[in-house]
Amino acid sequence: MVLNEAATSESAPPSVSVAIPLYNEADGVQVLLDRVLAVLDQLPGDGHEVVLVDDGSTDATFQLLRRAAEKDERVVAISLSRNFGHQAACAAALRHTRGQVGVLMDGDLQDPPEQIPEMLKRYHEGFDVVYAIRAKRKEGVLLRSCYFLFYRVMGALADQPMPLDAGDFCLMSRRVIDFLNASGERQRYLRGLRAWVGFRQVGIPIEREARQHGDSKYSWRGLLGLAVDGIFSHSVLPLRAAALLGFVAILVSLLIAAHALYGKLVQGDSPQGYTALVITLIFFSGVQLVFLGVIGEYVGRIFEEVKRRPSFIVDQVIRADDACNPTTP
Ligand code: UDP
Ligand code: MG
């Protein structure tokens, strides 16, 4: 791995790998391949490839990928041993890319592949990461508001600055991909990890299209899981908030104690505070439980990380130029 090489290689145009995770996207695979390959045809240089990872689909996605890989040497089809989730599938796809530049995009054509030349232009200007900023979303109002809120909360909490409204759709230089591949983190929040790597990064506004086929594979629960992964993997502020709130509670209780003492010693009446007592007790029991939960989130994460299980397991790799070579991270 060459670490200090500039992002741009002036001589030959870079070979581009497009990495795409797919889960039950059989209806859209052909259109996706047609559009991506048409874009690759237009790019200068050669050696471009599309790495498609089938994330344990239950429909015909992998059969279609296999057929495409056997027909076209630019297509690499990979299947995972089961459904590992979007972020793990992205990691698997990135790991199998070989280009000097890698583009990560969703397989439902919400991310328009036609933007790749524009991203490459920014790469040539010296940026290691060119990410799409979701300028206009075609999702419902409720979902859009949740995304909006999440990115702002995440931005405020994250340990290092994180671009707002940046999705997974991005172009990355080989050295950034190598760093991501080398990162042992299991519960990945790719956008966070990508920002964490550093180098020169730039966002370009891209209109996110509506899904071409089928429904989103993210349930509300899945989205919440991703949001939790994002926040707890990239911030220790929730833990600090516990300590801060603890100090505030102690201060408040000292003030109340002083007030009670004053009442007893100076005014000679002991305070009648049964209701206040119960309310305070319940309130702070609640606060304690919440923060036990917060600590639990981190402990759970430590538990997952120390098990050191791979974040995905590869079943098959269909690549025109070499035989089946299952690899695990
Ligand atoms: N995906 C995946 N594994 C999953 C869920 C989704 O590989 O468990 C893929 C999916 O096929 C798509 C991309 O990840 O190509 C983004 O998923 P989706 O469109 O459902 O997410 P959304 O755009 O709604 O955030
Ligand atoms: Mg989508």
- Count, in order, helices (H) and strands (E) of the chain: 10, 8
Distance 118 CA to ligand 2 centre (A): 21
Residue-wise pLDDT tens digits, 103-148: 999 998 888 999 999 999 999 999 999 999 877 666 677 887 888 8
The ligand that comes nearest to the alpha carbon of residue 220 is 1
| pLDDT over 70 at 271, yes or no | no
Q: Which residues line ligand 1 (CB under 6 A)?
A: 21-23, 25, 55, 83, 85-86, 89, 106-108, 110, 216-218
Query: pLDDT class for 2, splitting at 50, 70, 90?
Result: very low
- Residue 270 confidence (pLDDT): 66
| pLDDT over 90 at 20, yes or no | yes
Question: What's the mean per-residue pLDDT of the chain?
Answer: 83
Contacts 24+ apart (CB under 8 A), 140-149: 146/223
Query: pLDDT class for 326, splitting at 50, 70, 90?
Result: very low
Ligand 1 atom nearest 108 alpha carbon = 15
Distance 253 CA to ligand 2 centre (A): 50
Bridge pairing between strands 314-318 and 129-134: unpaired
263 or 79, greater pLDDT: 79
Distance CA 277, CA 275 (A): 5
Q: CA-based diameter of the chain, in Å?
A: 93
Q: Is the ipTM of this complex over 0.90?
A: yes
